[in-house]
Amino acid sequence: MSNGWTDEISSKLHGVTKKAAGEAALPTGSVGFAFPAHADGPTDAVRNTPEHLLAASASACWLLTWGLVAEKFRLDVVSSDATVKVAIIPDGPGLKIDAITVEVALSIRGVQSELEAKVQKAVEVSSRGCIVEKALKPGVREYVVRPTITWIAP
């Protein structure tokens, strides 16, 4: 692979049943995962599910990409927050992700009438540039980014 790199994360499952909990080793520490309790998962374990980890990756990726794009567009960003909703449906013997919605709350300092088109373009570029969105979008029925913009007077 030229001009690229490979990231590697290792995980362990402590058992082989739905009640088993696991742990993923990340560069900054580890994070626990398990089936959710409502799906007969463990009741005494941290209940981060793979879907939670995926949603966290999607929100972090979008926000980091947005930060780079907003800087290039020279936007005065006061704050950026993202909430990701992952819709899951039955699929054969397992489950599948049906839809992902990234709800983004952006606070921008400036005059709305002067910057609105520029901010919308920056949001679009951020979506196209997010590596997680690029990886997930083809496999789900719907992948949507919904920005809400609050304008702060200069």
Q: What is the pLDDT of residues 67-106, one digit of tens each?
A: 999 999 999 999 999 999 999 998 998 889 999 999 999 9
Report pLDDT for 38: 67
Q: In terms of domains, do 70 and 137 share one?
A: yes
Q: In terms of domains, do 121 and 55 share one?
A: yes
Cβ-count burial 34-64 (b if 16+ within 10 Å, e if not): bbeeeeebbeebebbbbbbbbbebbbebbbb
How far is residue 39's CA from residue 60's CA, in Å, rounded to a whole number? 27
Percent of the chain with pLDDT over 90: 67
Q: In terms of domains, do 99 and 132 share one?
A: yes
Q: In terms of domains, do 147 and 99 share one?
A: yes
Under 8 Å between Cβ of 59 and 84: yes
Phi, psi for residue 5 in degrees, rounded to 5: -155, 170
CATH of the domain at 110: 3.30.300.20
Q: In terms of domains, do 25 and 9 share one?
A: yes
- The predicted-structure confidence for 16-73, as pLDDT tens digits, reads as follows 777 888 899 989 989 888 887 767 666 665 678 888 999 999 999 999 999 999 999 9
Q: In terms of domains, do 22 and 92 share one?
A: no
Q: Following CA atoms 107, 109, 115, 116 in sequence, which dihedral angle do they give, to the nearest 10 degrees?
A: 20
Domain range for residue 21? 1-48
Question: What pTM, to 2 d.p., does this model score?
Answer: 0.86
Task: Give the chain's domain count.
Answer: 2
